Chains A and B, each alone.
Chain A
């Protein structure tokens, strides 16, 4: 019962912006969009989350469409260290867990 759909894999050239899409067409009004990533063999790492407004932090920007049915995570200047699996997750704040899907495997190419 996947709430999100992401491409299996993507490539991006080092130094360019990496734009990772996520579809969440059945998102409900109180569900937030979260992004995590997992660099090989490490624990997942929280990146950013948002409800409907675009968000930016030191790691990335999150662009959510006006109808909230999709979003894009933007890594503005990708480096080789950004090679990882990126997970888009929707959840309500009171959920006692996050559920990981298969994510998008992002390869940053030198």
Chain B
């Protein structure tokens, strides 16, 4: 069964540092997403990406966040200057069409200290 792969599984970073979270979506999927889940809270939508541009973003996805699909296979989430409150599990997802179910990766646990 095809999988969405996320690396690293766990990242610890100093407050104020930049981090890049990496995802390899399923190869024939066209729609890509980032979500986050703060410990004990709901899964929150961050951003959706289609045709090499952001199609929708939440209010969480401010100027500190950016996404990129640099080489046609990877899909990255960058946080420019991390804050303590960015500590969360970050999930990447992809889908072949807008209406199809999403396939989620196993997540990257980001800890900002």
Give A residues with C-beta under 8 Å from B.
32, 34, 36, 38, 41-49, 93-102
Contacts of B45 in A (CB 8 A): 97-100
* CA distance in complex: A42, B89 (Å): 9
Query: What does DSSP make chain A's interface, helix, strand, loop or mixed?
Result: loop
Nearest-neighbour CB distance to chain B for A77, whole angstroms, equals: 21
Nearest-neighbour CB distance to chain B for A62, whole angstroms, equals: 12
Query: What does DSSP make chain B's interface, helix, strand, loop or mixed?
Result: strand
Q: A96-B50, A97-B45, A97-B56 are in contact. Are A43 and B101 (CB under 8 A)?
A: no
Give B residues with C-beta under 8 Å from A.
4, 31, 33, 35, 42-45, 48, 50, 55-56, 58, 89, 91, 93, 98-99, 101-107
Contacts of B55 in A (CB 8 A): 96
Cross-chain pairs A/B with CB under 8 angstroms, 23 sampled: A32-B99, A42-B107, A43-B4, A43-B93, A43-B106, A44-B43, A44-B93, A45-B104, A46-B101, A46-B103, A47-B101, A48-B101, A94-B98, A94-B99, A96-B31, A96-B50, A97-B33, A97-B58, A99-B45, A100-B42, A100-B44, A101-B42, A102-B42
